[in-house]
Chains A and B, each alone.
Chain A
Amino acid sequence: METHLEDATPDGIDRQQFLKRASAGVLGAAALTGGLGADRAFAALTKAAAQPKRGGTLRCGFAGGSDTDTVDGDNVVNNMDFARVYQLYDGLVAYDENARVRLQLAEELTPNKNATSWTIRVKPGITFHNGKDLTADDVLFTLRRIVDPKKPLIGAPTLAFLDLKNAKKLDKRTCRIPCHAPFGSFVDTLPNYTYFIVPVGFNPKRPVGTGPFKFQSFTPGRQSTFVRNGDYWDGPPYLDKIVMTDFADEESQINALLAGQVDVINFLSAPSIASIKGGGANVNIAAGASLLQFTMRVDAKPFNDVRVRQAMRLIIDREEMRRIVFLGHGILGNDLFAYWDPVYDHSLPQRHQDIAKAKSLLKAAGQENLTIEFVTAPMGQGAVQMAQVLAQQAKKAGVNIKLRQLTVTNFFGPNYLKWVFSQDTWQYFPYFPMVAFSSLAKSPANETHFADPTYAKLYKQGLATVDAAKRKAIAHEMQRIDYEKGGYIIPFFPPTIDAYSKKVHGLREGKTGVPFNQHNYKKVWID
């Protein structure tokens, strides 16, 4: 967490930075005239020889949706919901292209000295789609709505620290929220996809937000449409309309793109890259940091012996798996999450395959010629393929992995979080929120059942520390524990692969793993 957040419009180079550079003489007279000239120069910099055009409809063919689709900004469930909510809403903070947390609706988000109270002030002059001004009341309404004990929404557990009952409104745009316990990672928690700001009296059937596009229609499992918000506080988008259609199958997505029936598609697999390029469309491959990790339950045989866990981590040939499943794309992993967080410990030595050491560890643990079941499901691109490669690689160390594939619904059903040796997938989270989410005894997504008391103590300390350097040191200590004793195997961070037709411009990729830089279509235009 940084105590001083920079304000940046989350779409890459922002105009202020640009104008500063321009006025420093980079582009000479044209830029200095400002106004229209600067606009054109700006556009020229972002896209050679292409001028942003007003108007047009962007047709999206997206995977990850189903009949459980929703447009409720605080109750996002499936991957396609992200696409929708990013058009309708904004959050207090947001990820920028580099997965750094930046202010968005908030003008200020500061803690007190020991992180037991937070002051939030929203920017002035922001209106919702229904014309109403954004005020502190809306912020409190949103947070209270999420943690409502009668109907807690998805993001409720992670906000448990906030004492919303005693939250106070200080003025029209400012409020102060005390905390039950020090909650230093509040800001890092907020850019999560379940904390979008909605107005007082929000009705999910007629959703209203502050986002760049307004709600037009929604049929779950099939299609949703959004229209341009001409009064968007950060500058109105170029597009007139966005149409998002649910697709169940990657091949249909690709066929539709190549046949000209849709303009953008997402969540593609590595083998498709060649076919799409060959078919005349563009492919974005971004080094994201979403997780597609292997999970080992530290409280069940054989992984309750840390040596077996360490052995498993050495059995994997990370480079080979990445080469086969993702054609070499994606960042190599070191069994640590939160890659883009400033506190990530890059100094820990990169692990590679070491069959000899793995074998001796297994022998020491009395688990030579181990036979074990691995549960997999097509939860994301490459998941099942990774499992197959794992099974093959493990043979070299005498480990016999029996694969069991379930449907996604069955995998995340009542037995989820009980599998001994399995996989999981998550969006990018900064370090401390991810720990809260997955690695503490009461975490809602603790696949590995990790519950180390030293680790938990360090976490609490970290939450109470406001000084950035001190927090980093604590985080490094915790990551040491993750590295030596954790139950995750993170061989790499899967790349984000999306594709679009040649007539679409302005699309960028971010590093969080959510397609198209958190589905940012604010500065996108069509020929």
Chain B
Amino acid sequence: MATPEVARDDLVRLPASRTRSPWREIRALVARRVALGVVTLFLVTVVVFAATQVLPGNAAYAVLGHSATPQAISALEKEMGLDRSAVSQYWSWFSGLFQGDLGKSLANGEPVGSLIGPRLENSAFLVAVSGAIGTAIGVLLGLWAALRRDKPIDHVLSVTLLALTSLPEFVVGIVLVLVFASVLFHVLPAVAVLSPGQAPWDAPKLLILPTATLVIVTVPYLFRMVRAATIEALESEYVEMARLNGLSPLRVLVRHALPNAIAPTIQVIGLNFLYLAGGIVVVEFVFNYPGIGQGLVNAVSDRDIPIIQFTVLVLAAFYVFMNIVTDVIALLATPRRLFR
């Protein structure tokens, strides 16, 4: 029977008891993970800040651009607080965080929250929609292929999806734009430019191509995982027993095989969302989509430290959060096998 395995460390620490309720252990697990997560996030912000200090030039150069004179630079550096020591700069940002002050963008003086908030919303929406659609397609295709294992259609699907996986995202995006928006057909918008203040769900047509790009790139992984997990579940002894007992194939599938395939699938779904969050940079570039990836590329280019810090913090927090969530769900999915 398929079982999720907790990483060795954690399991060693858990008491071997079948009678205790899983919830207590899960809470302990979560608490530990959250604590570790916070430390990780702190370290991440320190590392990123250190990296920004090593970058040649700073936001003052970026703002003044081509027309910088030494006096203007030093005046602006003073205004931006860039003449302070690295430690004091970091500390003032860090302590500001706890008071709810995320700082101001060095490039244009706007509050970080108001600049990143809409971008975060846009990216989150894109990730959510792509993830949901990708998951649905991947799971359905994977189930279907598992049931038709080794038949020609299975092979065709596998090879096609393998080929799609090998393509870089921007290639997929460019091809989609060429075919549907600018050269072959003109049925879909070529760029997904939202006006400031416009919510992504109010302009669904703009999101079609970016979502399609992300879906195409991530479905193959889900497909493989679901197919493999389902096949393994279908061939387990437990399911064999059920079949031998005369239960219908559908019932076997739904009530006995699937529940055991769920846990690994959930993990992969969670990881899929994480992958999307990282891969969104290129897609936002190709479609000019005002999301957090585009914001980060701009911020690195402009040496806008407060924006860089906060963006990386958010992405890292998302990573930590998703890991914890998928772990917990996976554990919950097979309570009986949690302990030995």
List residues of A whose CB falls within 8 A of some B CB.
Answer: 61, 66-70, 77-78, 151-152, 154, 156-157, 217, 219-223, 243, 245, 247-249, 251-252, 254-256, 258-261, 279, 407-410, 412-416, 425, 444-445
CB distance from B21 to the nearest CB of A (A): 51
Say yes or no: A259 contacts B190, CB within 8 Å. yes
Say yes or no: B193 contacts A413, CB within 8 Å. no
Is B169 at the interface (CB under 8 A from chain A)?
no
Q: With a CB–CB cut-off of 8 A, which chain B residues contact A256?
A: 189-191, 193, 288
CB distance from A153 to the nearest CB of B (A): 8
Which chain B residue shows the least CB distance to A427?
B66
29 contacts between A and B (CB under 8 A): A66-B298, A66-B302, A67-B302, A67-B307, A68-B302, A151-B75, A152-B71, A217-B196, A222-B196, A222-B290, A223-B195, A223-B196, A245-B195, A248-B285, A251-B174, A252-B190, A256-B189, A256-B191, A256-B193, A256-B288, A258-B186, A279-B183, A409-B303, A412-B61, A412-B68, A413-B61, A416-B68, A425-B66, A444-B69
Is B67 at the interface (CB under 8 A from chain A)?
yes
Which chain A residue shows the least CB distance to B188?
A259
Complex formed: what's the CA distance from A416 to B285 in Å?
A: 27
Say yes or no: B196 contacts A413, CB within 8 Å. no
Q: B282-318, CB under 8 A of A: which get 1 and which 0?
A: 0001111010001101110111100100000000000
CB distance from B98 to the nearest CB of A (A): 26
Say yes or no: A414 contacts B65, CB within 8 Å. no
Complex formed: what's the CA distance from A223 to B193 in Å?
A: 10
Is B62 at the interface (CB under 8 A from chain A)?
yes
Complex formed: what's the CA distance from A223 to B294 in Å?
A: 14
Which chain A residue shows the least CB distance to B72?
A152
Complex formed: what's the CA distance from A279 to B181 in Å?
A: 11
Q: With a CB–CB cut-off of 8 A, which chain B residues contact A222?
A: 196, 290
Say yes or no: A78 contacts B56, CB within 8 Å. no
Complex formed: what's the CA distance from A441 to B72 in Å?
A: 19
Say yes or no: B107 contacts A66, CB within 8 Å. yes
Known: A77-B66, A219-B196, A409-B62. 17 other contacts (CB 8 A): A61-B193, A66-B107, A66-B301, A67-B105, A67-B108, A67-B298, A67-B304, A68-B63, A157-B69, A243-B195, A248-B285, A252-B287, A258-B181, A259-B189, A261-B191, A409-B57, A412-B66
Is B177 at the interface (CB under 8 A from chain A)?
yes
A255 in contact with B177 given A67-B105, A77-B67, A414-B57 (CB within 8 Å)? yes
Complex formed: what's the CA distance from A152 to B307 in Å?
A: 26
Q: With a CB–CB cut-off of 8 A, which chain B residues contact A156?
A: 72
CB distance from A222 to the nearest CB of B (A): 5
Say yes or no: A248 contacts B191, CB within 8 Å. no
Which chain B residue shows the least CB distance to A444?
B69
Complex formed: what's the CA distance from A221 to B67 in Å?
A: 19
Given A70, A243, A254, A415, which contacts B182 in the complex, CB threshold below 8 Å? A254
> What is the interface of chain B mostly: helix, strand, loop, or mixed?
helix
Q: With a CB–CB cut-off of 8 A, which chain B residues contact A61?
A: 193
Q: With a CB–CB cut-off of 8 A, which chain B residues contact A243?
A: 195
Q: With a CB–CB cut-off of 8 A, which chain B residues contact A445?
A: 66-67
Say yes or no: B186 contacts A220, CB within 8 Å. no
Is B110 at the interface (CB under 8 A from chain A)?
yes
Q: B159-203, CB under 8 A of A: which get 1 and which 0?
A: 000000000000000100100011100101111010110000000
CB distance from A375 to the nearest CB of B (A): 13
Which chain A residue shows the least CB distance to B180?
A259
Of residues 38 through 77 on chain B, the ones whose CB sits less than 8 Å from some CB of chain A are: 56-57, 61-69, 71-72, 75
Q: With a CB–CB cut-off of 8 A, which chain A residues contact B72?
A: 152, 154, 156
Which chain A residue shows the least CB distance to B290?
A222
Complex formed: what's the CA distance from A425 to B65 in Å?
A: 12
Q: With a CB–CB cut-off of 8 A, which chain B residues contact A255?
A: 177, 181-182, 190-191
Q: With a CB–CB cut-off of 8 A, which chain A residues contact B182?
A: 254-255, 258-259, 279
Complex formed: what's the CA distance from A68 to B181 in Å?
A: 31
Complex formed: what's the CA distance from A432 to B115 in Å?
A: 42
Of residues 63 through 106 on chain B, the ones whose CB sits less than 8 Å from some CB of chain A are: 63-69, 71-72, 75, 105
Question: What 4 A-B pairs come out closest when comparing CB atoms?
Answer: A413-B57, A255-B190, A219-B196, A67-B107
